[in-house]
Structure 1
Amino acid sequence: MILRYIYGGRLSLEKYDTSDIIKILIASNELCLQELIIQLQLFLIENKKDWIEQNFSLVYKTSFENDSFLELQNFCIELMSKEQEKIFNSIDFTSLSEKCLISLIQHDDFQMDVIQVWEHVLKWGIAQNSGLPSDPSSYSKDDFNSLKNILQHLIPFIKFDNLTSKEYMDEVYPYKKILPKDLRENLLKYFMYQQNSEQMTIIEETKTKSIDSKIITIKHAELISKWVDRLEISDKMKNSYEFKLILRGSRDGFSPNKFHEICDNKTHTITITKVKDSDEILGGYNPIVWNSNYGYNITNDSFIFSFKNKHSIKGYILSRVKNEENAIFNNGASYYGPTFGFGDFFLCGNDCYDVSYCSNIYYKKSIRESSNDFSVDEYEIFQIMKD
């Protein structure tokens, strides 16, 4: 195949298995065929994304064995920052190197619940020693010591104190002997102390709540409230916010003029949109005022986000502002609605915001996979206030 490329300058990859293309990539690197190396990487990324996700360990290991595979390296890094769950659910997850797994769970944008992290780290550790039973009640002293040695470098990166008392007692405590003694004792004291207050918190947080929205549920609102307070998804809520509906497209109209009429000079607003012909939900938080003056406004606390649908908060994307001087863009023109950054989340157009789009300029990451324009089925703006 490589000879065919060398002498013919062309290569048809569609008929080859993906694993064979990986082997060809490695061989191309050994032969210093730089143009072919780039072509193979782009083909894999553009056409074999699902296969890469399912065989992440192999691709990650291959890509970082040589600096020539920069495209694959960047793809892996992007996947680790945005879609960690796919890596944990990949076919060869337990083949990940310890270094890769540590890098994954300590990533700044890591979004999985701590209990899920623990379960996957445990699964990985047990897989490293095929002789270990799955039931810790049948472990011998040597079994515990073996698992302790395997996980000794990973355990410091697990935020056990973000677990509930029940999660700790049910899922971690049976493996207590693999934890360092001082950590084990401190956690036991912590969860015994927290148990009563946690029970009160659970009672308080599970009281019947509602939100006047056609787009999101109270679960979405609670997560957004945590983001406002710069909390992680697994953290306990610091403040309870009332989401006061001040604008709804189907009630007040989708006109940018109506947006400015209702929302100008209001602070701490949440914009929520439902993308037309999709379950996709997009939104943004603006802690400062909207106005009709032309220009950017400064804040370090704004963020934009997306959810896959109304029925779940899983798979969300949160993107905080990275250039505070360009956080919020105001424009009183008749076709400009709420605008975050330079089109990072931009509602525009007089027909249901029909030329809206999301880019990635002044916020940390894009909240949409597609850069195409979209229209909205519905949009709502809430002003949030502490209860």
Structure 2
Amino acid sequence: MNDNKFLPKLSQNLLDILNDEEYYDVTIEVGNDPYIKIFHAHMVILHYRSTYLRRMLSTNKKNNDGTLVHIKLSNILPETFQIILSGRISLEEYDTSDIIYVLCAANEFGLKELIVDIQSFLVKTKPDWMESNFNLIYQTSFENDSFLELQKFCTDLTSKEPDKIFKSPNFSSISENLLVSLIQSDNLQMSEIQVWEHVLKWGNCSKS
């Protein structure tokens, strides 16, 4: 008998547990006033799903009197936490800026598979958007070492196609730290005169 045929059913059972409203043992208060939502969840699922939640649960043990564990997460939107909790997300249905927010949340919660999937989706399907919003992508990607695919996208663009950044309509809005990083890149394929012209342009625009 092939045991693998039972795996889809088992996976569905686990998803059903996530949505179960009867046997939950954790309540999670997500968001800030006036937009707060209470989620019901299961400690064992959260423990194995997220390293971040695992740490929180370790400091919020269930009392012997049967009182439920209660966790507060004020730094995340309820919609984003719903995605984190369920593990179900159709990236095509979201605005790219919202996907970036979910990516950062996934990193905070230690969801490595979701981090990889989102980065791959962005690089394959949203390169034009990322070029137009390069400042945001650059800053986000180098906040930590989890976003390696986005880091590679930024590095390749700055070294191989710097004109897409320097001649972008949004060039004047990039941060000073990003500008310095760009002009100090050893692989920058642009003459010193061209670089200097763009730096002057950035300086004049930032003053106006």
Name the CA distance, whole Å, in 2 between partners of 1:3 and 1:110.
40
Name the CA distance, whole Å, in 2 between partners of 1:82 and 1:57.
17
What is the TM-score with the length of structure 1 in the denominator? 0.31
Name the CA distance, whole Å, in 2 between partners of 1:77 and 1:29.
21
- Residues 311-350 of structure 1 aligned to structure 2 (within 5 Å): none
Distance 1:20 1:100, change over 3 A: same
Q: Aligned pair 1:89/2:167, yes or no?
A: yes
Q: Aligned pair 1:18/2:96, yes or no?
A: yes
Q: Which of 39, 59, 72 does residue 137 from structure 2 map onto?
A: 59
- Residues 213-224 of structure 1 aligned to structure 2 (within 5 Å): none
How many corresponding residue pairs?
130
| Structure (1/2) with the larger helix percentage | 2
| Larger RCO of the pair (alpha carbons < 8 Å, separation 6+) | 2
For the pair shown, the structure with the greater C-alpha radius of gyration is 1
Name the CA distance, whole Å, in 2 between partners of 1:12 and 1:99.
34
Q: Residue 30 of structure 1 aligns to which amino acid in structure 2?
A: E
Name the CA distance, whole Å, in 1 between partners of 2:157 and 2:129.
13
Name the CA distance, whole Å, in 1 between partners of 2:170 and 2:110.
29
Q: Residue 39 of structure 1 aligns to which amino acid in structure 2?
A: D
1:103 shift after superposition:
2.5
Q: Aligned pair 1:46/2:114, yes or no?
A: no
Residue 268 of structure 1: aligned partner: none
Q: Which of 129, 142, 157 does residue 79 from structure 1 map onto?
A: 157
Which runs of 5 or more residues in structure 2 are unaligned? 1-78
Distance 1:91 1:39, change over 3 A: farther
Q: Aligned pair 1:32/2:32, yes or no?
A: no
1:8 shift after superposition:
4.0
8 Å CA contact 1:54, 1:89 repeated in 2: no
Name the CA distance, whole Å, in 2 between partners of 1:104 and 1:67.
19
1:51 shift after superposition:
0.8
Q: Residue 148 of structure 2 aligns to which amino acid in structure 1?
A: L
Residue 121 of structure 1: aligned partner: 199
Residue 105 of structure 1: aligned partner: 183
Q: Residue 56 of structure 1 aligns to which amino acid in structure 2?
A: F
Name the CA distance, whole Å, in 1 between partners of 2:82 and 2:175.
35
Distance 1:85 1:49, change over 3 A: same
1:13 shift after superposition:
0.8
8 Å CA contact 1:25, 1:37 repeated in 2: yes
What is the TM-score with the length of structure 2 in the denominator? 0.56
Name the CA distance, whole Å, in 1 between partners of 2:161 and 2:106.
29
Name the CA distance, whole Å, in 2 between partners of 1:98 and 1:9.
37
Which secondary structure does the structure 2 equivalent of 1:128 belong to? helix
Which runs of 5 or more residues in structure 1 are unaligned? 131-387
| Structure (1/2) with the larger strand percentage | 1
Name the CA distance, whole Å, in 1 between partners of 2:135 and 2:125.
18
Q: Residue 100 of structure 1 aligns to which amino acid in structure 2?
A: L
Name the CA distance, whole Å, in 2 between partners of 1:69 and 1:44.
11
Name the CA distance, whole Å, in 1 between partners of 2:177 and 2:146.
20
1:7 shift after superposition:
4.8
1:2 shift after superposition:
3.8
Identity of aligned residues (%): 60
Distance 1:3 1:99, change over 3 A: closer
- Residues 258-277 of structure 1 aligned to structure 2 (within 5 Å): none
